[in-house]
Amino acid sequence: TAPYSLLVLPGDGIGPEVMAEVVKVVDWFQANRGMSFDVSHDLVGGSAYDTHGVPLADETMAKAQQVDAVLLGAVGGPKYDDLDFSLKPERGLLRLRKEMDLFANLRPAQCFDALADFSSLKREVVTGLDILIVRELTSGVYFGEPRGIHDDGNNPENEGGRVGINTQRYTSGEIRRVARSAFELAKRRGNKVCSMEKANVMESGILWREEVQWVHDNEYPDVELSHMYADNGAMQLVRNPRQFDVIVTDNLFGDLLSDAAAMLTGSLGMLPSASLGAPMENGRPKALYEPVHGSAPDIAGQGKANPIACILSFAMALRYSFDQGDAAAELERAVEKVLADGARTADLMGPEGGTPVSTSEMGDRIVAALSTRT
Ligand code: NAD
Ligand code: IPM
Ligand code: MN
């Protein structure tokens, strides 16, 4: 097949460490499954700032717009905490999401049986868990105007004299398109969508609820739809997570809820994500794949990072960008097998033990598990 173009942006902290393991997996699929990837590497986040003085160079942005898929490691770190807001590593990632218009962020949380005892919840609560959070990614309070930090005149009632402002803003169009993504995905899974907002306190939440209901009634009447306040949703997610199939929610609630969902699976180091835009001319969506976790400065450079979230993000790329669903499932099974065999990065070491492995040993084992499946 014609080569798929892939832009690899390892980023900062553990980003490059976990991405090195993904590259091994990419190479394996090229060598063993007749796939061909045209891979280019570039900088994002703090590493881009160090080289270019900005967290994402314009040339890198332009490249991202042209490739079939972007793979990103993680950005950020204490070294960059004092930078001007516009230069922070996180702005590089947000620019990619915004300019590629990647409005649907898919964050699946699946509990691998081998890790069920490692979840912070009881095995009975998480066994077989398979939920998908669809987070709106290009709007809401992350991008709404007005925003900023301002002087509050000489307001005598404001000690410190400053105001910080962000705006939660959603258009009906933005809500409808991400709702459609959620319903489409639900049709191929458990056929159930739960929409989360805070319609009890926010007008944007009322609009969210009405528009999701509208898309349901007009376009997906056969998918089961429920609505939940996001705070209750957080509680339900840890009380009985298996009640959910697909959750659709806004940018900020989705950020929080997906970190919480991550822990249900045992570790933040396990959770992949796909950020998808509207279909391009070739029928495939613009896409960026990245783990849910960050650059983990506390463990960076020590070979302790779990590469599975990033590797499973590549599995999502195989599925959503390259129409290689079988290859994606094969990779997911290889991960499952390695975990069942007891391989554990530090984040997965619990009382029940296992074989401690480094980041690169975990990658090697996954590649070896793939190789036994020819
Ligand atoms: P984090 O996700 O980096 O780390 C949270 C905790 O989880 C840490 O204890 C870390 O060691 C652990 N952890 C995370 N990923 C792991 C992995 N693969 N294997 C083992 N352990 C793992 O979140 P944070 O500490 O709040 O943020 C650190 C930096 O990362 C910040 O600059 C933040 O803005 C950035 N960040 C970036 C992204 C991204 O690039 N998508 C996401 C979240 C945070
Ligand atoms: C995530 C991260 C990002 C977010 C940051 C790093 C911009 O937490 O991908 O979940 O808040 O969206
Ligand atoms: Mn987050």
Q: pLDDT class for 279, splitting at 50, 70, 90?
A: confident
Ligand 1, atom nearest to 293 Cα: 2
Summarised one tens digit per residue, pLDDT across range 288-341 is 999 999 999 999 999 999 999 999 999 999 999 999 999 999 999 999 999 999
Query: Residues 226-246: what's their mean pLDDT?
Result: 97
Using CA atoms, how far residue 250 sits from 56, 139, 185, 223, 338, in Å, is 25, 8, 17, 20, 35
In 207-361, at which residue ranges do the beta strands (DSSP E only) sit?
224-229, 246-249, 274-279, 285-289, 343-344, 355-356
- Span 351-374, average pLDDT: 90
Q: Which atom of ligand 2 is nearest to the CA of 273?
A: 9
When comparing pLDDT for 262 and 71, which is higher?
71
Ligand 2 centre distance from Cα of residue 255 (Å): 7
pLDDT bucket at 287, cuts 50 / 70 / 90: very high
> Averaged over 93-101, what is the pLDDT?
98
DSSP percent split of the chain into helix, strand, coil, nearest 5: 45, 20, 35
- Least distant ligand from the CA of 294: 1
Binned at pLDDT 50, 70 and 90, residue 351 comes out as confident
Ligand number with the minimum distance to the CA of 295: 1
Predicted local distance difference test score (pLDDT) of residue 244:
98
Instruction: Find the mean pLDDT for residues 103-114.
Output: 94
> Could you tell me which residues are annotated as the binding site for substrate?
97, 107, 135, 231
Q: Is the pLDDT of residue 158 over 90?
A: yes
Interface ipTM > 0.95? yes
The per-residue pLDDT of the chain, averaged, comes to 96
Helices (H) and strands (E) in the chain, counts: 12, 14
Q: Which of 72, 93, 135, 142 to mutate to test the pocket of ligand 2 (most atoms within 8 A of CB)?
A: 93
Distance CA 301, CA 146 (A): 39
- 């969210």: which residue's tokens? 208
For 67, the token pair is 């490739």
CA of 263 to the centre of ligand 3 (A): 13
Closest CA to 55 of 65, 66, 44: 44
Nearest CA to ligand 1 atom 26: 294
What local confidence, expressed as pLDDT, does residue 352 receive? 74
Percent of the chain predicted with pLDDT > 70: 99
Q: Cα(287) to centroid of ligand 3, in Å?
A: 18
pLDDT at residue 120 in the model: 87
In sequence order, which residues have a C-beta less than 8 Å from that of residue 161 and are 6 or more positions away?
151, 152, 154, 155
Question: pLDDT tier at 373 (50, 70, 90 boundaries)?
Answer: low
Rounded distance between C-alpha atoms, residue 106 and residue 104, angstroms: 6
**Domains of the chain, CATH where assigned:** 1-111+268-374 (3.40.718.10), 130-264 (3.40.718.10)
Instruction: Say what the pLDDT of residue 337 is.
Output: 96
Q: Whose CA is nearest to atom 25 of ligand 1?
A: 296
Look at residue 280 and tell me whether its pLDDT is greater than 90. Answer: no
H-run or E-run covering 106: strand 104-110
Look at residue 1 in the predicted model and tell me its pLDDT: 62
Contact 8, 44 (CB under 8 A): no
Instruction: Give the pLDDT confidence of 124-144 residue by residue, as tens digits.
Output: 999 999 999 999 999 999 999
Residues in the ligand 2 pocket, defined by CB under 6 Å: 76, 90, 93-94, 255, 292, 294
Vertex 107 angle, CA 354 and 139, to 5°? 145
Q: Which residues are catalytic?
A: 142, 198, 231, 255, 259
Ligand 1 centre distance from Cα of residue 14 (Å): 9
Predicted pLDDT of residue 182: 98
By C-alpha distance, which of 58, 59, 60, 66 is closest to 11? 60
Distance 87 CA to ligand 3 centre (A): 19
Question: Which atom from ligand 2 is nearest to the alpha carbon of 94?
Answer: 7
From the annotation, which residues make up the binding site? 77-90, 97, 107, 135, 231, 255, 259, 294-306
User: Is there a contact between 223 and 187 (Cβ–Cβ < 8 Å)?
Assistant: yes
Q: Is the pLDDT of residue 235 over 90?
A: yes
Residue with the two structure tokens 């942005």: 61
Residue nearest to atom 18 of ligand 1 (CA): 269
Tell me the C-alpha distance between 115 and 265, whole Å: 7
pLDDT in tens, 66-84: 999 999 999 999 999 999 9
8-25 pLDDT, tens digit each: 999 999 999 999 999 999
Q: Is residue 374 pLDDT above 60, yes or no?
A: no
Predicted pLDDT at 254: 98
DSSP string, 46-71: HHHHHHHSSSS-HHHHHHHHHSSEEE
List, in order, residues 6 or more apart from 82 with CB less than 8 Å away: none
Pocket of ligand 1 (CB under 6 A): 14, 18, 74-77, 90, 93, 268-269, 290, 293-299, 305-306, 309, 347
Ligand having the closest approach to the CA of 97: 2
